Amino acid sequence: MDVSRRQLAAVLTGAAVAQAQAPTPVSADKEVDDARARQRIAAQTIARVPLPMSTEPAFQFKA
């Protein structure tokens, strides 16, 4: 089938727009999703520790 240059340009432009609109995650595969889920579970576990508002992180910046 012959494709005109106009038709080809339209296809390529459409593909580029679609790619720009839908950012892909670093990787969509299940293992990464599972790793993200484990991170979330860890964060939820940590969130249950009572934490006074005045507690600062365990590092110090010095000028």
Contact in structure between 53 and 59 (CB atoms under 8 Å)? no
CA distance 1 to 7: 12
Calpha distance 36→32 (Å, rounded): 6
Residue 58 CB, shortest distance to other proteins, in Å, is 4
The residues of the shown chain that bind other proteins, judged by CB under 8 A, are 25-27, 29, 31-32, 34-36, 38-39, 41-43, 45-49, 51, 55-59
The least CB distance from residue 51 to other proteins, in Å, is 6
Residue 9 or 38: which CB sits closer to other proteins?
Answer: 38
